[in-house]
Amino acid sequence: MSIGSRLAVHPRAILICQALGFSAFVAAFFLPAVKDSGGLSDSDIFKGWECAKIALSATFHLDTYESSGFLAAMSGWINPLMLLYIGLSFAPKFSRLRRALAIAIAVCMVATWIFFAVDQLIPIIGHFLWIAGALMIMVAELSGRKPEAVVP
């Protein structure tokens, strides 16, 4: 039996995993997340909240869409999408929307890693904890659980 199918059978395990994931996700904002590969000083290391601020603000600059900054802007949307996902997780009737958000978040995660490769940035502990936390929050969708039937 796979981990996903085991989780789908045990809803309490999903809730515990999501709570731990939320804790990890929040903690990641205060840890070093990205390091510039060319730099050797501490000023070349960015904490999670700094990365989030830079990436989300890149969305509003027109020159972003003419460079690899577009990938950074996509990574900046992970946090707002996660907040929306968490907000919708309290109502079973939004299961399909949550699944669509989970897919969008996964696409943004891949865009983040492509951005790191193109701009030669090195992800460090905060980034890995941030990704792990987000995946743990979305464990219900990742486990393959079928959307709940909505009873009128």
Q: What is the DSSP string of 80-132?
A: HHHHHHHHHTT-GGGHHHHHHHHHHHHHHHHHHHHHHHHHTEEE-HHHHHHHH
- Among the residues of 10-47, which ranges form H helices? 11-27
Render pLDDT for 25-64 as a digit per residue (tens, 0 to 9): 999 999 999 998 776 666 689 999 999 999 998 888 887 7
Residue position matching structure tokens 């996902």: 85
Per-residue model confidence (pLDDT) at position 93: 87
pTM: 0.82
**Are 30 and 50 a contacting pair, CB within 8 Å?**
no
- Two tokens, residue 2: 């796979």
Instruction: Answer whether 84's CB lies under 8 Å from 141's CB.
Output: no
Q: Which two tokens stand for residue 121?
A: 């940035």
Chain centroid to CA 141: how far?
Answer: 14
pLDDT at 144 over 70: no
Answer with the residue of higher pLDDT: 63 or 121.
121
Q: Is the pLDDT of residue 149 over 50?
A: no
